[in-house]
């Protein structure tokens, strides 16, 4: 197991959008916690079903607006502390460099587009599902795909768990992110509908691929891989 902690990749601008998205996710999670605390599990459930993305509602619902807004609200909802902690760890490490490359406005659009693409990928696995899709992991997977493409040789400090070996090591980003993507593919293919244990693996896969595709489109002909 590899748990990333930081990279050695400098940024050229202050990543205001990265900070904003990060803290918005934290604030929404705190609000979810308050809803759960004072409204109980039923209050939390109503919130998830109202603002989460439900495939059956999108494909079979009658309201166009009601089908569109969950694509965006759902990527700011999380199901628990481990869910948001894992997502925000990856986002904090890798997003600032992609914002630095794209600029604030393009990065925000890129992030949301990757989130929508990730959700659509997961939905296509079972468009009759009534289980809400929530979480920022699909959009963040897009960031990881862009980082894999743009900074393959940047070094990432990870905590390595290998049997009795537990230590911090620096390894190339393409290995860290390539290994992560491979795990998503293996896990997705091994589960029915791409979701195992509540994890939308095909959203991760779709988001990662979308990140590579859309980063190329957003970044344009300036794309050059750094050989570090």
For residue 151, what are the CA distances in angstroms to 7, 10, 46, 110, 175?
11, 11, 41, 17, 11
Is 227 a domain residue?
A: no
Is 67 a domain residue?
A: yes
Is 70 a domain residue?
A: yes
Q: Residue 100: name the closest of 137, 136, 154, 138 by CA.
A: 154
Is 226 a domain residue?
A: no
For residue 63, what are the CA distances in angstroms to 59, 69, 75?
10, 11, 20
Is 155 a domain residue?
A: yes
Q: Burial code of 23-54, b = ≥16 C-beta within 10 A, e = fewer?
A: eebeebbeebeebeeeeeeeebeebbeebbbb
Is 228 a domain residue?
A: no
The number of distinct structural domains making up the chain is 1
pLDDT at site 65 = 60
8: domain CATH number is: 1.20.1540.10
Is 129 a domain residue?
A: yes
3-state secondary structure of 187: helix
- Walk along the chain (228 residues) in steps of 10 and give the mean pLDDT of each run: 92 96 98 92 92 89 72 95 96 97 96 97 90 96 98 96 87 96 93 66 97 92 46
Using the structure block, give the residue that is written with the tokens 């459930």.
45
Whole-model pTM: value is: 0.91
% helix, strand, coil for the chain, step of 5: 70, 10, 20
Tell me the chain's radius of gyration from C-alpha atoms.
18
195 bridge partner residues: 200
pLDDT at site 227 = 38
Domain that holds residue 112: 2-221
2 bridge partner residues: 160
- Residue 25 and residue 87 in contact, taking contact as beta carbons nearer than 8 Å: yes
Is 216 a domain residue?
A: yes
Q: What is the DSSP letter of 222?
A: G
């Amino acid at each position: 197991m590899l748990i990333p902690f930081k990279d050695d990749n400098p940024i050229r601008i202050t990543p205001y959008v990265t900070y904003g998205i990060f803290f918005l996710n934290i604030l929404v999670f705190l609000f979810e916690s308050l809803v759960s605390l004072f409204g109980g599990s039923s209050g939390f459930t109503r919130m998830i079903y109202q603002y989460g993305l439900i495939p059956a509602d999108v494909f079979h619902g009658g309201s166009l607006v009601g089908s569109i807004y969950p694509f965006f609200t759902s990527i700011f909802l999380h199901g628990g502390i481990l869910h948001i902690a894992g997502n925000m760890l990856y986002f904090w490490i890798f997003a600032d460099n992609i914002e630095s490359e794209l600029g604030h406005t393009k990065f925000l659009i890129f992030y949301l587009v990757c989130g929508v693409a990730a959700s659509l990928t997961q939905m296509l696995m079972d468009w009759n599902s009534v289980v809400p899709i929530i979480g920022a992991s699909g959009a963040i997977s897009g960031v990881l795909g862009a980082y894999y493409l743009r900074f393959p040789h940047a070094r990432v400090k990870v905590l390595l768990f290998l049997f009795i070996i537990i230590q911090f090591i620096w390894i190339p980003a393409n290995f860290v992110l390539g290994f992560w993507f491979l795990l998503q593919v293996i896990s997705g293919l091994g589960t029915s509908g791409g979701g195992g244990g509540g994890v939308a693996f095909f959203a991760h896969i779709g988001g990662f691929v979308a990140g590579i595709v859309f980063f190329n489109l957003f970044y344009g002909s300036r794309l050059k891989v750094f050989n570090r």
